[in-house]
Structure 1
Amino acid sequence: MSLTAAVRGFILLLISLQVVQSQNVWGVTFTSREICAVKGSTVEISCSYRYPSRWKNKENRVEKTFWFVEKKDGEPVDLTTDSEYAGRVEDLCENNICTLRIRNLRERDSAEYKFRIETNQDVYASEPVTLSVTGLQVKVTKTSSCSGSCIWADLECLSSCPPTSRPSYIWYKNGLKSTETRESFNYYFYPKESFACAVKGYENSPSPSVCVNGQACNTVAYSERSICAFKGSSVDISCTYSSFEDNVKSKFWFSPERSYQDLSTDYQYSGRVVVLSPRRGSTLRISDLRDSDSAQYRFKFKTPSFEWWSDLPGTNLTVTDRELEVQVIGSSSGPKLVCLSSCLLTGHPTFVWYKNETEIRGETSASYGKYVDSANNYSCAYDGHRSRSVYAPKLPLVLMSPSGDIMEGSSVTLNCSSDANPAANYTWYKRNQKLLIETSQLVFSSINSTGSGQYFCTAENKLGRTSKSFFIDVKYAPKLPSVSVSPSAEIEEGSSVTLTCSSDANPAATYTWYKANQTVFQGPEGRYNFTSISSEDRGIYYCKSENQYGENKSSPLSVDVQYAPKLPSVSVSPSAEIEEGSSVTLTCSSDANPAANYTWYKEDEDSPKASGQIYNITVVRAEHSGSYYCGAQNKLGRQNSSLLILFWKEFEYSGAWKSAATGTITIVLLAIILIAVFLWFKRNKSNGGEKPDNNAQLNMGPVHGVPSDTAQPAEEQHDLHYSSIRFPQNQEEALYSNIGRVQPHRQTEEDEDMNEYTVVKTPGLRRQEDAEDLFALYSTVNK
């Protein structure tokens, strides 16, 4: 029954106001500070509370709230653990609003009730709320006498709690319900008559019957208005009665729900009912109680001239199974135990307590008074019936469904169970992080790779907690691999370089490195090492990661190896005969990264001739003859090419110029003839007098006119290039140049056959063409 309903009926409020108890930002708000309620009814005391979120410069959080009654020893006791209130009290709290509900109120429940807040930083207690429990009384005010033995009087139904509304009343005359519904009325009354009153809706809590006219009248008073008993046990239902006449002809008990006949003659109670008749009283004893015995029982008596009516409520009997329960209540000093029965036991029942199946001597109260150790189990007993033991949760059992390997994307459920009484509450953790799951099941509708890890199921009740771990291993194919190169800066030839490939996979992936679709490395680590990288290692790489569930390829990785220029190569264009006055292009190329810068030099000159890969001589003249080379350079180094040696001569073919040219050519030809004859004799000697082929050109050594500073030591000698120049009969005939490679080692007979020769032809000077073919002019390029 709610407080509102109680007030509407007969739970009276002396003061209705809002009270806020505060200490800084601590506070408790009550709807009333004084409450009056009728005996046997239900009352609710409600409040709201507040507290600071920070206190003493620290976080402030509520750990416990409870209601208590101030005791003489000063220690506040949670009413839910107080044996005086066992089975009658509920503490309902939600969203900082708490309600204390007390059922079956007794007069000794009248007290001052306080609300207490305990946080991790402090304790706060409210001011008291006063509860008064009272019964109804009939007040008789005599006004006058009437003829005979009657009197005129005023009757009023009173309580120490004045109503805040005007309820309807019920009046009983000699146990018979009357038509009067007012709080008070006046009438004439005779000595044998008794009256009682009740508030409508609370008929089971009527006032005692009183004699209006005189001290003797007909009355019945029940010892208990409500009794609860265990099935199979026995119960005594008692009352006292008085009769205006001493001659009581009959008296018996009956149940109006069944019939109005004497229970001792009811076959359903046959052999189970005994009526005890002390003086001016009667006791109905029912043994071997059954569920069907739950009913209201009333007493009736008759005299020769009077019969007690049966409208006035009697005693309500409730028969339940023998159920005892140990209630565990948390407190700041540890868990408390209270033995509760399915029945509200009257009087001062005696209980027996057990720890680990052993009886504890001296513990007879409904509340267990000793220290509660979570390692033990506890139970209680009453009237030969014992409760189940209470104990902290046992080590949980965690099962996975379905069993076997867990594949990414599948549905997985973890079930956690623990033997505990009271039943355990479950909390799931992943590593040390609490999950927002507070049930015994942890469900993954579509688990992914991040679901792998260590999980903990914690089972907890008010006696203790324990946890069990479980590892989830989600299997999946490799994710997209990530690739990297170390060092990440520019890579120089000869340095150590590592290509790394990594991919999230379970089980771990194996890796394969490719260069241009060719496998270069395979292994579980995914690292491909170059201890001394070379220019040939540059290119596009990618890796593949794979396990038994699939494979994945990385994006391409470009490896750019930087190196100093290699030995430059040089070329002359055009490669055919070059005429005086025409243009000549010298080209230098070198493999280098980054690309090389080129500079052309002429030997014995300090200043470069040109920069760039190509050196153009637009008009060939005599002064262009000489030794040329190019230099290739980048930030990593420099390399020079071999020497290119060119001889240039000019002739005047008319007048004095022709005479000078003729004389010069004659001298040159004579020198060549002498050299050729010398070499021919030398060759015949070395060949054992073998005669050379007349159609072959003569093999000749280096031209002695080459400057000595171009010569190189044997171990440093570079490749040689030969160039020949044709001198024209006239200005229209062209010079031509052929360039060939000569090996840097000592020539042998086979080597000489491999040499290329350049011939200077002078057709305008001599008519003997066969002889002209035998004379050659050699020009070398010395590296």
Structure 2
Amino acid sequence: MVPPSLLTEMRGAAMSLTAAASGLVVFLLSVSVVQGQDEWGVAYTSTEVCAVKGSTVEIRCSYTYPSTWNGSVNTVEKTFWSKQKDGEPVDLTTVSEYAGRVENLCENNICTLRIRNLRESDSAVYWFRLETNRAGGKYSGSPGVTLSVKDLSVQVERKYSNSANLKCQSSCDLPDNDYVWYKNGGNALSGTSSLQVDFNYLDSYSCALKGYEDSLSPSVCVTGRDSNTLTYTEGSICAPKGSSVDISCTYSSNECITSKFWFSPERRHQGQNPSQPEDLSKNSQDAGRVQITDTERGRSTLRISDLRDSDSAQYLFKFKTPSFEWRSDLPGTTLTVTALQVQVIRTTYRQYNTYAELKCHSSCSPAGVSYVWFKNGEKFTTTSISSYKGRIQLTDTISCALEGHEAFSSPIVYAPRIPFLSKPSAEIKEGSSVTLTCSSDANPAATYTWYKRNQNAHFSYFNEGPRLVFRSIQSSDSGQYLCKAENKLGSSTSENISIYVKYAPKPPSVSVRPSAEIEEGSSVTLTCSSDANPAANYTWYKENGNRNVPPLSEGPRLVLSSIQSSDSGQYYCRAENKLGSIRSESISIDVKYSPKLPVTLTCGSDANPAANYTWYKEDEDSPKASGQIFNIIGFRAEHNGSYSCGAQNELGRSNSTFHLSVGTGSSTMTVNIIRTTLGVLILIPVFLLSLWMRKKKALRSTTEAPEPEDIELDSVPEYENDSDTAAQTEDTEEQGDMV
């Protein structure tokens, strides 16, 4: 239990605290409460406290504890205030949100919690706790103290015809004096909780407790108006680029306006919430260019300096009151920033001179302005109207500006400069897609026309547009091209550009010289030609019935300097470059020659059943002929060599080999034969035999032992009767000829 003397002390302290309430803004709502158990106890001066936001409050209590605990001396080691009773209470002096604002003052078992600069978040239940040196010696007093932090407000109690009565109040009990009143944010007036004022357009009032002037109540307005209004001075404004513009409005409300600002829905920045208009004065991108002024109450002016094209937009004013917000869907003031542009109305050409009519055009036309014209960057005339007529050169640049705003002239206009042509840097192959591009610096923008050099070395119209596209270019597209850039002020022509299309050889053509009848021993030239880029290489071939024909020679011409009958046949050439190859059609060569002297070889063998015969020449895999008779027509040196005749039936095979050679002199030819084991008959025309015999006698007169041995045909039994032998050969079923 709390001793009577302690109760008397606490009552006295409570009376003292109540007397100081007007200074500390602390209000005690109940009597002291003592809670204790086994001589542990905490007595709060009050269990409920109401204080004004921004003020200072003191919450006080006294405590008792047993001097001994479990047979040992019990002493207090720590006392503190907490917002938490259960668990491990936290000392408020260690909580960051109370840093510098909380004190715990204890003396003679009386402790006071002092909180300065009260916030609404300080509203809570506060507990006192003591801890002793003995285990389990901890105690928190119940039920704690409930603190309520309230704000001040100004209420209009009564309205008269020309005045109103205001009252500064709170949900806490406040004293009736020691208040401070503020009019329109200034003019501090001391007084009581009530204040009588006269009506004045948009006057605002707020109040505070004396000594806590930083904790003002929200302002209220005292006005005789019954509605909210907003009027823009102008619905639209046209201003030159680079100049400054003022956009103004007037506004009023039957309540106190709590906020106001200018904004533009069309100039919303990336990431900005569309439902939250941005105050233009707080936009960092427009820093230094945007200024808002209120030269008189109820009027606001938005000034934008150094106007840009992007400033063209609609501008709106917005204000708020405690119960009203001006809607932003109503139209504001539309600003159009004038962007000048020189328009070419018409041009006339007279004797190498160009006369032009130009106009200084803008999206809107400010009234009462003059126009300044510039040629090649130099001012040359000023006109009161927006048009100009005069002579210009192809190299001139023209611009205009509003007088007084010469630094913000229009873009220059000029005739096209010499166009630049571009083509693919890689090799151009037939069938590929190729684009030629023509570009020229010009204002107004140039139009382009393409020309190609024709067979008369003149350039003729080919196509239009800045790009010339060959989707599948052909060899016929090779040539020289140029483009012409043109606008209303003149034209300019590019340099020539050459296009070389690479392509595989076209089908070759073959020609023969002489084109008349070809006689043996004459000179004949075959020529192959093909259209190709790069130029083709040529290879000549003669058909022989085989798939793999060996080449005869290389080069565009095949020369047969002394053509022989054996050169007769089908010839063709192949044209080739790195892009491909193709062969020509075959051309037939027919060599005319005088009658040839044939050599007939006959092979005979006694066999039953009758033998089959096959003729071979040394070093050749394929047989030369089959049958008993083998004719060699037009016997020449190339026919020299060893021959064999094979006789075969189903019972066996027998071969006979001999060597045949031919020699020529100035007027004779000899045929020499080495003896063979198998009978071979050689039939030679009579006059050839006579020539051969003369040659034989001539050889005998110059040598004693001829090699190889000459055979006299009349000494060979099988050949004694040529006519009979010839008759026999006519009955032979199979014959072979060698040409």
TM-score calculated relative to the size of structure 1 = 0.35
TM-score calculated relative to the size of structure 2 = 0.37
> Which structure's residues are more often strand, by fraction?
2
